[in-house]
Copies of this chain bind each other. A is one copy, B any other.
Amino acid sequence: MKNVAMVLTGFNAPLERKEFEIPALQQGQMLVKIEAAGVCGSDVHMWRGEDPRTPLPIILGHEGVGRVVSIRGNREYVDGRKIETGDLILWNRGMSCGKCYACQVLHEPSLCKNRKVYGINMDCVEQPYLSGCYSQYIILRKHTDIFKVQEGVDPAILVSASCSGATIAHAYDMADLSIGSTVLIQGPGPLGVYATAFAHEIGASEIIVIGGSADRLALCREFGATTVLDRHGLTQEERRQKVFEITGGKGVDLVVEATGAQGTVEEGIKLLRSGGMYLSTGYAQPAGIEKIDFFADVVSKNIKIQGTWVSDTRHTYQAMNLVLKEQEKFSKLISHRFPLEKANEAIQIMASKKAFKAVLMPASDIK
């Protein structure tokens, strides 16, 4: 049995269509047919060689939803039910080792030094080769945590739950919001939309989004943003004034940074109330230096800053729950769908920022 995958063999060069012989499964492994594979902003960075974790050659694609084709041995879902052939599934894209200080003493598997991630730090040279979602099939390893998805859900809307959705769930998991909290989100991309959706779901009273794209800001409104501030129409000082006006002069309880761009922290931290929290989630690649006045903006305001690195199964579960509650809304995130073999086109449109979210549909009829 053969598998077709789109492989990154050199940075900045087109992915190449390759055929792989599907190897026999080892104990605990599962062969899964990819129904939808998200094209993440990180994939663009990886394609350009900007992510130091990237081995070559690699089948890209860390966001996937698929259908179980075969299982070697017995496997259970996270909730203890038996996994069956034919099931539609979502999985945690990362595997932690379960043995190290982070996993066992800190109980923070997302900090595991031995963490392996499909489509990110697993190449296609080592057996069993099929380790990314830009592919007809993937082989999920024994230690992958898997959730069952009910039939009828559009697989494309769930792919980001295992990446940007889970990252934002991780961030909110470290925050302490209550009903009536005020939240400001910097950046209306996929991370920002999830940050908006979570804030809305948790009962925030004000959800302000700052961004540079009218379309994306409009999308945030659909997810619950109560105010959107366009960077192109308002100066930084005007945005600041607006935020303090909305919050009765106090500043917001929580800022979520979701851009990864230089200067974002410097603006955002000044929008917090005393005692507020700054969740930084967007810096997945190097972006230079933020200049922080600790006296004025951190110490004298008793501010908490929390960096958020990736996510774990707990957060994938939370994000999946959110998407399943709001399927119609989340379907609006998917701006483009491509067949597998147009993966290069998908990467280009994500790189151009013309797409909000492109998804490959290897198993569908869309050709």
Say yes or no: A307-B300 contact (C-beta < 8 A), given A202-B202, A203-B325. Answer: yes
Asked whether B314 lies within 8 Å of A299 as measured between CB atoms, the reply is: no
Say yes or no: A107-B318 contact (C-beta < 8 A), given A102-B275, A293-B289. Answer: no
Asked whether B105 lies within 8 Å of A313 as measured between CB atoms, the reply is: yes
**What residues of chain B lie closer than 8 Å to A302, measured between beta carbons?**
108, 110-111, 306-309
In the complex, chain A residues 293-318 whose Cβ is within 8 Å of any chain B Cβ: 293-296, 298-309, 312-314, 317-318
User: Most chain-B Cβ atoms within 10 A of its Cβ — which of A98, A265, A293, A312?
Assistant: A98
* Interface size, A (range): 35 or more
Offer 9 A-B interface pairs, CB within 8 angstroms, sorted by A. A78-B105, A80-B101, A99-B143, A101-B250, A180-B317, A205-B321, A265-B294, A284-B299, A286-B296
**What residues of chain B lie closer than 8 Å to A78, measured between beta carbons?**
99-101, 104-105
| CB of A45 to closest CB in B, whole Å | 11
| CB of A169 to closest CB in B, whole Å | 7
Asked whether B283 lies within 8 Å of A299 as measured between CB atoms, the reply is: yes
In the complex, chain A residues 249-307 whose Cβ is within 8 Å of any chain B Cβ: 249-250, 260, 265, 274-275, 280-296, 298-307
In Å, the complex CA distance between A282 and B110 comes to 31
Beta-carbon nearest neighbor of A144 in chain B: B99
Chain A to chain B: the 10 pairs with minimum beta-carbon distance, closest first: A180-B321, A298-B307, A104-B313, A299-B307, A98-B98, A283-B299, A283-B295, A305-B305, A302-B309, A201-B203
**A113 beta carbon closer than 8 Å to chain B:** yes
**A198 beta carbon closer than 8 Å to chain B:** yes
**What residues of chain B lie closer than 8 Å to A250, measured between beta carbons?**
79, 101
